[in-house]
Amino acid sequence: MRRKIAAGNWKMNGLTASLTELDTLAARFPKPGCDVLICPPATLIAPAKARAGSIAIGGQDCHTGVSGAHTGDVSAEMLADIGASHVIVGHSERRDDHGESSELIEAKAEAAWRAGLTAVICIGESLAQREAGETLDVLTEQLAQSTPDGATAANTVIAYEPVWAIGTGKVPTLAQIGEVHDALRGQLEARFGAEGTGIRLLYGGSVKPSNAAEIFAVSNVDGALVGGASLKADDFGGIISALEAA
């Protein structure tokens, strides 16, 4: 059995005052029935960790190196040092805004492992790719190239986030989500064997309390990576509760 994960990606949102949302969540879920992860902006990781209770805290990106002359970058070791246990790599906003390739993301995942972090590797097709019927080909290639050899159920989580569903209120049909997740599971098992069976597969893109339960019922969906709806404790709490019940 794969333990499910409700993961929140705050993106570039949140000042210290926003940590009261985390306080509310930590009080509501002292012993959650699934893994709960919040990835706040790097500026909030240390204070978030101090008040997160059983909620795990992660980064949203890391550099491939340990340290050095890379102005503005943060290493996986730095994230681990302030209490992060996970780091998102390869989010489509990094791929698009910063031109990150799957090869770079693979190196970032290896950096995460080097620092003892779990890598949450994101993949997703664009609307043009979906409409051209290229979805599974694109995802197969992204997953193959972004995931290093040595991925295990413990060190890697995969998040499928269709680019066109992020922040748009548009969600693929349940059949479309199931088709992708089943294909990704098959690919992980073919490459990683039993570890591939254990790697958790999250869906992300416009997940809300109102659609969470039906998405969590889809085969091979082991949880969600949530953007906008993770910013408010009430909304994210509803998603966590739906996952606990799934």
Q: Which of 106, 125, 161, 181 is catalytic?
A: 161
For ligand 13P, the closer of residues 19 and 171 by Cβ is 171
Closest distance to ligand 13P from the beta carbon of 68 (Å): 28
Q: Which of 40, 204, 209, 237 binds ligand 13P (CB under 6 A)?
A: 204
Among 91, 95, 130, 185, indicate the residue that binds ligand 13P (CB under 6 A): 91
Half-sphere exposure of 219 (CA within 13 A, CB side): 11
Query: Which residue from 161, 177, 237, 246 is in contact with ligand 13P, where contact means CB under 6 A?
Result: 161
Axis crossing angle, helix 135-146 with helix 174-192, rounded to the nearest 10: 40
**Region for 202 from its dihedrals, namely left if φ exceeds 0, alpha if ψ lies in -120 to 50, beta otherwise:** beta
| 115 or 171: CB nearest ligand 13P | 171
Residue 88 burial (C-beta neighbours within 10 Å; 0-12, 13-18, 19+): buried
C-beta of residue 177 within 8 angstroms of C-beta of residue 185: no
Decide whether 91 or 185 has the Cβ nearer to ligand 13P.
91
**H or E segment at 5?**
strand 5-9
The residue among 9 and 142 lying less far from ligand 13P, judged by its C-beta, is 9
Q: Does 167 bind ligand 13P (CB under 6 A)?
A: yes
| Residue 77 burial (CB count, 10 A) | 18
> Is 70 known to be catalytic?
no
Interface residues with ligand 13P (CB under 6 A) are 9, 91, 161, 166-167, 204-207, 225-229
Catalytic residues: 91, 161
